[in-house]
A and B are shown apart, each in its own frame.
Chain A
Protein backbone atom coordinates (compact mmCIF):
# COMPACT_ATOMS: atom_id res chain seq x y z
CA UNK A 1 0.00 0.00 0.00
CA UNK A 2 1.28 3.44 -0.90
CA UNK A 3 1.53 5.61 2.19
CA UNK A 4 2.97 8.94 3.24
CA UNK A 5 4.15 9.69 6.78
CA UNK A 6 5.18 12.99 8.32
CA UNK A 7 7.26 13.47 11.44
CA UNK A 8 6.96 15.28 13.77
CA UNK A 9 3.22 15.81 14.06
CA UNK A 10 3.78 19.14 15.79
CA UNK A 11 6.72 21.46 16.27
CA UNK A 12 7.14 24.66 18.28
CA UNK A 13 10.24 26.79 17.78
CA UNK A 14 11.43 30.32 18.57
CA UNK A 15 11.63 32.84 15.79
CA UNK A 16 14.86 32.78 13.79
CA UNK A 17 15.54 29.06 13.98
CA UNK A 18 16.26 26.97 10.92
CA UNK A 19 14.09 23.89 10.90
CA UNK A 20 13.47 20.69 9.00
CA UNK A 21 10.20 18.92 8.39
CA UNK A 22 10.29 15.28 7.35
CA UNK A 23 8.21 13.25 4.93
CA UNK A 24 8.64 9.57 4.15
CA UNK A 25 6.84 7.44 1.58
CA UNK A 26 6.57 3.82 0.64
CA UNK A 27 7.29 2.71 -2.93
CA UNK A 28 10.09 4.73 -4.53
CA UNK A 29 8.46 4.78 -8.00
CA UNK A 30 6.99 8.21 -7.48
CA UNK A 31 5.97 10.66 -10.17
CA UNK A 32 6.31 13.77 -8.07
CA UNK A 33 6.12 15.10 -4.52
CA UNK A 34 4.48 18.33 -3.46
CA UNK A 35 4.65 20.37 -0.25
CA UNK A 36 1.61 22.40 0.79
CA UNK A 37 0.89 24.90 3.52
CA UNK A 38 -2.48 25.11 5.25
CA UNK A 39 -3.50 27.90 7.60
CA UNK A 40 -6.24 27.17 10.18
CA UNK A 41 -9.66 27.02 8.55
CA UNK A 42 -8.21 27.66 5.12
CA UNK A 43 -7.42 25.75 1.95
CA UNK A 44 -4.10 24.40 0.75
CA UNK A 45 -1.40 26.54 -0.79
CA UNK A 46 1.22 24.82 -2.93
CA UNK A 47 4.76 25.62 -1.80
CA UNK A 48 7.09 23.43 -3.82
CA UNK A 49 6.78 20.67 -6.40
CA UNK A 50 9.62 18.21 -6.95
CA UNK A 51 9.51 15.94 -9.98
CA UNK A 52 10.94 12.44 -9.67
CA UNK A 53 13.96 13.41 -11.78
CA UNK A 54 14.86 16.30 -9.46
CA UNK A 55 16.78 16.30 -6.19
CA UNK A 56 15.58 19.61 -4.75
CA UNK A 57 13.55 22.76 -5.29
CA UNK A 58 13.95 26.16 -3.68
CA UNK A 59 11.61 29.09 -3.16
CA UNK A 60 12.78 31.95 -0.99
CA UNK A 61 13.50 30.63 2.50
CA UNK A 62 12.12 27.20 1.62
CA UNK A 63 14.12 24.30 0.26
CA UNK A 64 12.68 20.86 -0.41
CA UNK A 65 14.85 17.84 -1.13
CA UNK A 66 13.95 14.43 -2.49
CA UNK A 67 15.73 11.11 -2.00
CA UNK A 68 13.72 8.46 -3.81
CA UNK A 69 16.01 5.58 -2.90
CA UNK A 70 15.38 6.10 0.81
CA UNK A 71 11.77 7.21 0.35
CA UNK A 72 12.28 10.59 1.99
CA UNK A 73 11.76 14.27 1.44
CA UNK A 74 12.64 17.16 3.73
CA UNK A 75 11.36 20.70 3.81
CA UNK A 76 13.93 23.11 5.15
CA UNK A 77 12.73 26.49 6.43
CA UNK A 78 15.45 29.04 7.01
CA UNK A 79 15.23 31.83 9.58
CA UNK A 80 11.70 30.95 10.67
CA UNK A 81 9.16 33.70 11.33
CA UNK A 82 5.85 33.79 13.23
CA UNK A 83 4.11 34.08 9.86
CA UNK A 84 5.40 30.60 9.01
CA UNK A 85 3.07 29.13 11.63
CA UNK A 86 0.76 26.72 9.81
CA UNK A 87 0.33 23.05 9.02
CA UNK A 88 2.68 21.72 6.37
CA UNK A 89 1.49 18.81 4.25
CA UNK A 90 3.51 16.48 2.07
CA UNK A 91 1.77 14.71 -0.81
CA UNK A 92 3.01 12.11 -3.28
CA UNK A 93 1.77 10.84 -6.61
CA UNK A 94 3.04 7.56 -7.98
CA UNK A 95 3.64 6.45 -11.55
CA UNK A 96 0.93 3.79 -11.61
CA UNK A 97 -1.84 6.05 -10.34
CA UNK A 98 -3.45 9.41 -11.02
CA UNK A 99 -3.99 10.01 -7.33
CA UNK A 100 -2.27 12.24 -4.79
CA UNK A 101 -1.76 10.70 -1.34
CA UNK A 102 -1.22 12.99 1.64
CA UNK A 103 0.64 12.69 4.90
CA UNK A 104 -1.17 13.84 8.05
CA UNK A 105 0.95 16.98 8.27
CA UNK A 106 3.25 18.78 10.67
CA UNK A 107 1.70 21.60 12.68
CA UNK A 108 4.33 24.31 13.08
CA UNK A 109 4.24 27.14 15.58
CA UNK A 110 6.91 29.82 15.50
CA UNK A 111 6.80 32.09 18.53
CA UNK A 112 8.37 35.55 18.81
Chain B
Protein backbone atom coordinates (compact mmCIF):
# COMPACT_ATOMS: atom_id res chain seq x y z
CA UNK B 1 0.00 0.00 0.00
CA UNK B 2 1.16 3.54 -0.66
CA UNK B 3 3.27 4.92 2.20
CA UNK B 4 3.97 1.62 3.91
CA UNK B 5 6.23 -1.17 2.74
CA UNK B 6 7.23 -4.48 4.28
CA UNK B 7 10.35 -6.48 3.59
CA UNK B 8 10.97 -9.20 2.76
CA UNK B 9 7.71 -10.28 1.07
CA UNK B 10 8.53 -13.96 1.49
CA UNK B 11 11.03 -15.77 3.67
CA UNK B 12 11.82 -19.38 4.50
CA UNK B 13 14.00 -19.94 7.53
CA UNK B 14 15.11 -22.81 9.73
CA UNK B 15 13.94 -23.53 13.24
CA UNK B 16 16.10 -21.84 15.84
CA UNK B 17 17.43 -19.03 13.65
CA UNK B 18 16.73 -15.36 14.35
CA UNK B 19 14.63 -13.50 11.80
CA UNK B 20 13.96 -9.78 11.41
CA UNK B 21 11.08 -8.32 9.44
CA UNK B 22 11.04 -4.66 8.49
CA UNK B 23 8.20 -2.19 8.16
CA UNK B 24 8.91 1.19 6.61
CA UNK B 25 6.49 4.13 6.36
CA UNK B 26 6.69 7.48 4.63
CA UNK B 27 3.58 8.98 6.29
CA UNK B 28 5.26 10.16 9.50
CA UNK B 29 2.52 8.43 11.52
CA UNK B 30 3.14 8.06 15.21
CA UNK B 31 1.62 4.58 15.67
CA UNK B 32 2.89 1.38 14.09
CA UNK B 33 1.70 -2.19 14.66
CA UNK B 34 2.71 -5.75 13.89
CA UNK B 35 -0.01 -8.37 13.40
CA UNK B 36 0.08 -12.02 12.44
CA UNK B 37 -2.67 -13.72 10.49
CA UNK B 38 -3.43 -17.41 10.82
CA UNK B 39 -6.36 -19.53 9.61
CA UNK B 40 -9.07 -19.69 12.25
CA UNK B 41 -7.53 -16.91 14.34
CA UNK B 42 -7.78 -13.87 12.14
CA UNK B 43 -5.36 -11.03 12.75
CA UNK B 44 -3.78 -10.88 16.17
CA UNK B 45 -1.66 -8.05 17.53
CA UNK B 46 1.95 -8.93 18.36
CA UNK B 47 3.49 -5.59 19.36
CA UNK B 48 2.86 -1.95 18.68
CA UNK B 49 4.69 1.34 18.98
CA UNK B 50 3.39 4.78 19.90
CA UNK B 51 6.61 6.63 19.19
CA UNK B 52 10.35 6.30 18.80
CA UNK B 53 11.63 3.86 21.41
CA UNK B 54 8.08 3.50 22.82
CA UNK B 55 6.65 0.03 22.34
CA UNK B 56 4.17 -2.25 24.05
CA UNK B 57 3.02 -5.86 23.87
CA UNK B 58 -0.05 -7.15 22.11
CA UNK B 59 -1.93 -10.38 22.73
CA UNK B 60 0.63 -12.79 21.16
CA UNK B 61 3.99 -11.24 21.98
CA UNK B 62 5.85 -14.29 23.33
CA UNK B 63 8.88 -15.12 21.17
CA UNK B 64 8.89 -11.72 19.47
CA UNK B 65 10.69 -8.46 20.10
CA UNK B 66 10.46 -5.11 18.36
CA UNK B 67 12.49 -1.98 17.96
CA UNK B 68 11.76 1.51 16.70
CA UNK B 69 14.80 3.76 16.52
CA UNK B 70 13.31 6.03 13.85
CA UNK B 71 9.75 7.18 13.20
CA UNK B 72 9.71 5.52 9.79
CA UNK B 73 10.98 2.04 10.71
CA UNK B 74 9.48 -0.64 12.95
CA UNK B 75 11.37 -3.93 13.15
CA UNK B 76 9.94 -7.27 14.31
CA UNK B 77 12.45 -9.91 15.44
CA UNK B 78 11.78 -13.58 16.03
CA UNK B 79 14.52 -14.35 18.47
CA UNK B 80 14.61 -18.09 17.74
CA UNK B 81 12.12 -19.04 15.07
CA UNK B 82 9.75 -21.96 15.70
CA UNK B 83 7.32 -23.73 13.38
CA UNK B 84 4.40 -22.15 15.27
CA UNK B 85 5.61 -18.79 14.01
CA UNK B 86 4.93 -19.76 10.41
CA UNK B 87 2.39 -17.14 9.45
CA UNK B 88 1.66 -14.06 7.41
CA UNK B 89 2.85 -10.91 9.16
CA UNK B 90 1.25 -7.54 8.55
CA UNK B 91 2.44 -4.12 9.55
CA UNK B 92 0.00 -1.24 10.02
CA UNK B 93 0.23 2.48 10.69
CA UNK B 94 -2.22 4.98 12.14
CA UNK B 95 -2.54 8.39 13.66
CA UNK B 96 -4.32 7.03 16.72
CA UNK B 97 -4.06 10.34 18.53
CA UNK B 98 -6.01 12.16 15.85
CA UNK B 99 -9.80 12.22 15.75
CA UNK B 100 -11.19 10.09 12.96
CA UNK B 101 -7.98 8.18 12.33
CA UNK B 102 -7.94 4.92 10.41
CA UNK B 103 -5.41 2.18 9.88
CA UNK B 104 -3.36 1.46 6.76
CA UNK B 105 -1.84 -1.98 6.25
CA UNK B 106 1.21 -3.17 4.37
CA UNK B 107 1.09 -6.03 1.86
CA UNK B 108 2.37 -8.61 4.32
CA UNK B 109 5.36 -10.92 4.77
CA UNK B 110 4.81 -14.63 4.37
CA UNK B 111 7.18 -16.42 6.74
CA UNK B 112 7.74 -20.17 6.70
CA UNK B 113 9.77 -21.81 9.45
CA UNK B 114 11.00 -25.30 8.52
Contacts and interface: CB of A to CB of B under 8 A. Distances in A.
Interface in B73-104: 90, 92, 94, 96, 99-104
Secondary structure type dominating chain A contacts:
strand
Interface string B41-76: 111110010100000001000000000000000000
Interface of A: 32, 34, 36, 42-46, 49, 51, 89, 91, 93, 98-105
A36 B48 CA distance: 20
A46 B102 contact: yes
A99 B102 contact: no
Interface of B: 1, 31, 33, 35, 40-45, 48, 50, 58, 90, 92, 94, 96, 99-108
A100 B103 contact: yes
A49 B107 contact: no
A103 B105 CA distance: 16
Which has the most chain A C-beta neighbours within 10 Å: B40, B41, B100, B106? B100
Contacts of A100: 33, 45, 92, 94, 103
A32 B100 contact: yes
A34 B102 contact: yes
Nearest to A87: B42
Nearest to B92: A100
A89 B50 CA distance: 24
